[in-house]
Amino acid sequence: MTRPATPLIRELGRADYEPTFAAMRAFTDARTPETRDELWIVEHPPVFTLGLGADRNHVLAPHDVPVVQTDRGGEVTYHGPGQVVIYLLMDLRRNKPGGKLYARQFVAKIEQAVIEVLAAYNLAGERVAGAPGIYMADGPKKGAKIAALGLKVRGNGCTYHGVSLNVAMDLAPFTWINPCGYSGLATVDMRTMGVDAPLADVQQALAQELVRQLATEPELNNL
């Protein structure tokens, strides 16, 4: 079987959330089995997004930040300037030679990409069972969330939405919600953890690591 082409990486710059959401759905509606997979790198103006299972009561405080209902999994999260957002427009049916890459394997690869990028900046990230995303593994901020993950996987195996990694943000809006539905969950960014990295550098690092992770065979024993 011929290995699929490397995903095309598109840099969208700063873009409003709702038109980007609409473009992801339109791309997925129009794609065929021959359509090349794509990763979209974007930075959003402030926005709260609600997953399909989200409770609006997790948006806690009065604010001027727009709240957008989406069709991804998960609860409420925040996107804003200084955050890497990468959307993964993938066909999971062809991303594993000989068969389908299952959603849990896909999520594990995305999480591993974040862990590897954080490690390159001397930060230790870890998974938490039952709570998708990446959390600080040690130090005074142990357990604080630094990356969020939410996906839509259609019945035909095509995905959109993706992953966000906090680099250098105004973290206050995270206190206006129960992030991912967890009351009191602390949220941090790389700057808080002592890493002063240009957003563009982290965008490229995460995109390239996602491509690398998605090109490797799933390690079924670890998932």
Q: How far is CA 31 from the centre of its chain?
A: 21
Active-site entry in 24, 149, 168, 180? 180
Residues 191, 89, 214, 169: what is their CA dihedral angle, to the nearest 10 degrees?
0
Q: Rounded to an integer, what distance in angstroms lies between the CA atom of residue 117 and that of residue 134?
A: 11
Active site residue 180: yes
Q: Give catalytic residue positions.
A: 180
